[in-house]
Structure 1
């Protein structure tokens, strides 16, 4: 047995043959040089036989389409299952014919894709329950500032099915799947934010967390109150990875965690901000949820179309292409609007960082002068305001060490003037003096 004769990435097709269609089906398989086994069927008068034949992944869709075009309707049973290995010289030739190493040849068939998208979406009650549990666990992890708990909430989130189902439904012209997936996504966002808010209110009212907890002081929360453009990369990457994983028949579990990472934690932060009575603070997190959700859908739609998925009925191809273009344009436009918003947050963060660096340079420059050689900078800190998501410097705290019994009253005025010239708005400059004794 040579390595070339042993083939993987195989599907085994089991096809029931309706009465009068046996010769037609076998002729198609013979023309394509496909090995098959036929067994007589005696359990039903509608079917005369069952045909079993192995196919490489890339051949499943065109072969099934040709069989269906020959008059085999959807009432006939067609089962496609994984096959670990096929040992056949003829099968290797068939694989060489259909596989050319690109994305299209590695993908599963349209029929399998549709089934996979359906399977990834749980029933409505299960979806709601798992979303609530995921949001509650995420909220607890966020309030505890525990990355491990937040990651755990992503694992149980049932979001990958609806997030990818809308794209699948669009490209294969399955409007029922599209509508169901969009409905699930909208409902999931609302349920996640609502569950997080209710749980956070309960936690706060019972004093499980300190009543004076400042959200901006919690690392897992603050980073999602003012998201930046890097969030788009996460969402787009999750969407592309999700579609590639489902389209190639590989595991989608880890990709589901990535998609949940883009949606569940920011939804939890939005709920926490609402529970703390800070609706403006929830704006950034809510925008992050929406832009991530739309980006996942946009990336999924583009990737599926690029991979070559098209509707089963070729007569509806033009209509589907038009629908895909409109939805891509609509999603891209909305994502662009949100990207501008995130860009504004990113620019505000950049300005704040620039101000902090410039202010620190000014302090170090002043203290480097000969008359202040006995003084040293012990700590420099910029305190931001709480006007999320566009935060600005509010206070600058400069801690200076100097010799005991000596002071430089003019130093505070000089530092205040030098620091304030770099601020776009009034900033309070607080100078703290600490006596340093060197032994």
Structure 2
């Protein structure tokens, strides 16, 4: 529910009040003495879904944007006519639950801080995320998402597109580009300082840190996270629901991958940064694409009907452009996913081959204790480099040709030759 405070220009009082009467809207009018341009102020409650059509109708009656129109939340309205008005405009679907176009624009503006604050908070969140990744601490990484100011620019570009506010669109796009660059640069600089000052153990292998490695070789599921964040963010802002938690989700799609890219650069592994950088870009574009489609679907349009065709054409071009780029990145992520799937299959096949080998009568005194597939460092398309097989057997047992047999059978399932190390451990059963 909303309470609208509307200043009525001189000569428009009767027209405005007749419009409110025709719509069955309760109102209170007070005389206005602060300016000769306005004669009165009207106060009237509206269901959220009615704000946009009523304000548009009043605008057509002669209220221009220079007049003061204030829309605030109303907790409770006790009125039979209001209940009838609510039943008329609200039918339970998303479109009827959404806030007005005017409120949406104001909300998008309010979610985007000044550039100085945006840059500062982005740098801080990237530094915190980098520390969390190096500590392998999910809790710290989540904390970096909470303080990231990314939801405003991420949603502002979509809002600006559908309501024909090109200034908001270009400002939001600029913020997003600068935000991505700042996040990766801040993470790289901080990680380099941490490395050179030996704050972390010398020789730290970043690929062995789970929080980092999983973002250096992202898979196709990452795309679903970004698309979900974009849809959820737009639905939350369009229906007036708190966007705080959704902002964390959008930051989850952007800040940790950017920090992982910065860490890889600081460690002198630019190829390892490719996957996480692509993940950042595809997430940014996916959030924008999902937001744009969702806003258009729920019915947001520019206030100027003469600009509708031009806006629709512009939105269509942007949707197609974003979809094509996201599809290209999706193919890249799909290739990474396929490579990971092949590596998983190879490990399973290698294990089965070792187990089948040990089932032979000449090796029945041995048992498989462990099998580890060591991946190479060719990020983001990692493949098996070495297989380490740990075999247990009784003291004094030997099988000189076992290692060669395992090597041969394991490499049947490898596209490229893979080293196989066989370790023997004495097993004493009592």
TM-score range, shorter chain: over 0.9
Q: Aligned to 2:401, what secondary structure does the other structure show?
A: helix
2:178 and 2:189 mapped to 1: Cα distance? Answer: 16
Choose the corresponding residue for 1:91, options 82, 92, 112: 82
Residue 370 of structure 1, CA deviation: 2.6
Residue 396 of structure 1, CA deviation: 0.2
2:281 match: 290
Aligned pairs (5 A) from 1:90-239: 90-239=81-230
1:116 and 1:29 mapped to 2: Cα distance? Answer: 26
1:284 and 1:309 mapped to 2: Cα distance? Answer: 35
1:137 and 1:402 mapped to 2: Cα distance? Answer: 49
Aligned pairs (5 A) from 1:285-324: 285-324=276-315
1:390 match: 381
1:59 match: 50
Aligned pairs (5 A) from 1:352-367: 352-367=343-358
Q: Aligned to 2:149, what secondary structure does the other structure show?
A: coil
Residue 256 of structure 1, CA deviation: 0.2
> CA deviation digits over 1:240-279, x for unaligned, max 9?
0000000000000000000000000000000011101111
Residue 116 of structure 1, CA deviation: 0.1
> CA deviation digits over 1:215-256, x for unaligned, max 9?
110000000000000000000000000000000000000000
1:113 and 1:418 mapped to 2: Cα distance? Answer: 63
2:135 and 2:53 mapped to 1: Cα distance? Answer: 53
Q: Aligned to 1:213, what secondary structure does the other structure show?
A: coil
1:435 and 1:74 mapped to 2: Cα distance? Answer: 86
2:305 and 2:122 mapped to 1: Cα distance? Answer: 38
Q: Aligned to 1:65, what secondary structure does the other structure show?
A: helix
Higher deviation after alignment, 180-189 or 204-213: 204-213
1:291 and 1:424 mapped to 2: Cα distance? Answer: 30
After TM superposition, which residue ranges in structure 1, 4 or more long, deviate above 3 angstroms? Answer: none
1:246 and 1:436 mapped to 2: Cα distance? Answer: 63
Higher deviation after alignment, 372-381 or 287-296: 372-381
Residue 373 of structure 1, CA deviation: 1.8
Is residue 2:378 matched to residue 1:377? no
2:34 and 2:98 mapped to 1: Cα distance? Answer: 35
Residue 369 of structure 1, CA deviation: 2.3
Choose the corresponding residue for 1:244, options 231, 235, 256: 235
Q: Aligned to 1:73, what secondary structure does the other structure show?
A: coil
Residue 371 of structure 1, CA deviation: 2.4
TM-score by length of 1: 0.97
Residue ranges of structure 2 left out of the alignment (5+ in a row)? none
2:331 match: 340
Choose the corresponding residue for 2:9, options 5, 18, 37: 18
Higher deviation after alignment, 365-374 or 252-261: 365-374
Residue 74 of structure 1, CA deviation: 0.5
1:204 and 1:366 mapped to 2: Cα distance? Answer: 45
1:70 match: 61
Higher deviation after alignment, 366-375 or 154-163: 366-375
Residue ranges of structure 1 left out of the alignment (5+ in a row)? 1-9
Q: How many equivalent pairs are there?
A: 430
Higher deviation after alignment, 324-333 or 206-215: 206-215
Q: Aligned to 2:299, what secondary structure does the other structure show?
A: coil
2:392 match: 401
